[in-house]
């Protein structure tokens, strides 16, 4: 089920941030910012910490683009805290600074269509929302397939470019490359150049 082009399902949930702080997070508090919401299956697993650290390594890049990163799993805040207190060299996520949402009731994963109900965990779903809370990009990977954070940034850059210039971004578009007008003439001019 695609949510692209639709208002993102709202939520209000507890989350954990650095220094073991538990906070309440409501999606609506990010109005005016881009939001990258990504789901991962479970704390203390194997592909998941590589993804969480990859997002942390690029967190400054997201912030430069007025974007927030939110991680979400079905684990409790207590499990998040325990994992945050586990060193990276031991498979932990010590050093992660962005919020980790606790979807213990599985309602967020279900509303975003990424709940793997037979196991009670989420697929590796990723949702990019514009500054008005509309989902503009959605990606869902099966459990063994990690994501590319660089591709998330490229997609965010493409959205920002489109909003700023009104042009669309062809395949493999990168910052500094040409966009094109969203019509037949734009396509012809793009292929001719």
* Whole-structure pTM value: 0.96
Tell me the average pLDDT across 155-171: 97
User: Is residue 59 assigned to a domain?
Assistant: yes
**Which residues are catalytic, by number?**
48
Tell me the average pLDDT across 31-37: 98
Tens digit of pLDDT for each residue in 130-157? 999 999 999 999 999 999 999 999 999 9
User: Is residue 6 assigned to a domain?
Assistant: no
Tell me the average pLDDT across 172-182: 95
User: Is residue 2 assigned to a domain?
Assistant: no
Shared domain check, 103 and 185: no
Shared domain check, 90 and 24: yes
Tell me the average pLDDT across 98-124: 98
pLDDT band at 193 (very low <50, low <70, confident <90, very high): confident
Rounded to the nearest integer, the mean pLDDT of the chain is: 97
Q: What is the 3-state secondary structure (H, E, C) of the chain?
A: CCCCCCECCCCEEEEEECCCEEEEEEHHHHCCCEEEEEECCCCCCCHHHHHHHHHHHCHHHHHHCCEEEEEEECCCHHHHHHHHCCCHHHCCCCCCCCCEEECCCCHHHHHCCCEECCCCEECEEEEEECCCCEEEEEEEECCCCCCCHHHHHHHHHHHHHHHHHCCECCCCCCCCCCCECCCHHHHHHHHHC
Tens digit of pLDDT for each residue in 52-80? 999 999 999 999 999 999 999 999 999 99
Shared domain check, 186 and 166: yes
Q: Residue 100: give its domain's CATH number.
A: 3.40.30.10
Shared domain check, 162 and 138: no
Shared domain check, 106 and 37: yes
Give the domain extent around 83. Answer: 12-145
Shared domain check, 159 and 102: no
What does the pLDDT read at residue 1?
77
């Amino acid at each position: 089920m695609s949510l692209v082009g639709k208002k993102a399902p709202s939520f209000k949930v507890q989350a954990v941030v650095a220094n073991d702080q538990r906070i309440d997070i409501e999606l609506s508090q990010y109005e005016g910012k881009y939001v990258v919401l990504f789901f991962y299956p479970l704390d203390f697993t194997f592909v998941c910490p590589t993804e969480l650290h990859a997002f942390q390594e690029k967190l400054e890049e997201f912030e430069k683009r007025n974007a927030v990163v939110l991680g979400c799993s079905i684990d409790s805040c207590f499990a998040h805290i325990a994992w945050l207190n586990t060193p990276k060299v031991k498979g932990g996520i010590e050093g992660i600074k962005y919020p980790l949402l606790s979807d213990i009731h599985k309602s967020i994963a279900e509303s975003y269509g990424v709940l793997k109900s037979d196991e009670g965990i989420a697929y590796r779903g990723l949702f990019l929302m514009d500054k008005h809370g509309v989902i503009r990009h959605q990606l869902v990977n099966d459990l063994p397939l990690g994501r590319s954070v660089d591709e998330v940034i490229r997609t965010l850059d493409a959205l920002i470019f489109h909003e700023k210039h009104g042009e669309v971004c062809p395949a493999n578009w990168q910052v500094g490359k040409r966009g094109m007008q969203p019509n037949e003439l734009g396509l012809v001019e793009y292929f001719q150049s």
